[in-house]
Amino acid sequence: MKKVRITVKRMARYDDLIEKYENPIEHPCSMRLDQIFISDGIEKPEGFCSSAWDSVSPFVMALSCGAENFYDSWMKNPKSAMISCNDGFRPVSFLLETVEDESTD
């Protein structure tokens, strides 16, 4: 199985929805822009949000096993996917890319 690099590419925040619907929470998200995680395809990387992992893990597993061209080739790089977490208040977009060699650069 191939490793998959998960990079935080965008973080949104919908204050109007938070104010209207969300109960206050102490630590809503600890991700940082351009933060990188590496997955073996099966295990959630250390420090990666569990809720976000629920959203991205099927794509991470598929890429790790060699899948390409999700959704009729919507990505320029066929060995990648752009997936967002399921947080409707603070969605985070992740770029998933197959790591072709042992280097993570």
Q: Is residue 63 part of a domain?
A: yes
Q: Model's pTM, two decimal places? A: 0.89
Provide the domain count of the chain.
Answer: 1
CA proximity to 39, closest of 80, 83, 96: 96
Q: Is residue 82 part of a domain?
A: yes
Is pLDDT of 84 > 90? yes
Q: Is residue 94 part of a domain?
A: yes
**Would you state the structure tokens that stand for residue 9, as one six-digit string?**
């590419």
| Predicted pLDDT of residue 58 | 97
- pLDDT-derived band at 26 (thresholds 50, 70, 90) equals confident
Query: For residue range 38-49, what is the model confidence (pLDDT) as tens digits?
Result: 999 999 999 999
Structural domain containing residue 51: 3-99
Q: Is residue 13 part of a domain?
A: yes
Q: Is residue 104 part of a domain?
A: no
- Position 44: which residue type? K
Q: Is residue 36 part of a domain?
A: yes
DSSP state at residue 11 = E
Burial 24-55 (b: 16+ CB within 10 A, else e): eeeeebebeeebebebebeebeeebbeebbeb
Q: Is residue 105 part of a domain?
A: no
The span from the CA of 4 to the CA of 80, in Å, is: 9
The span from the CA of 63 to the CA of 82, in Å, is: 12
Q: Is residue 66 part of a domain?
A: yes
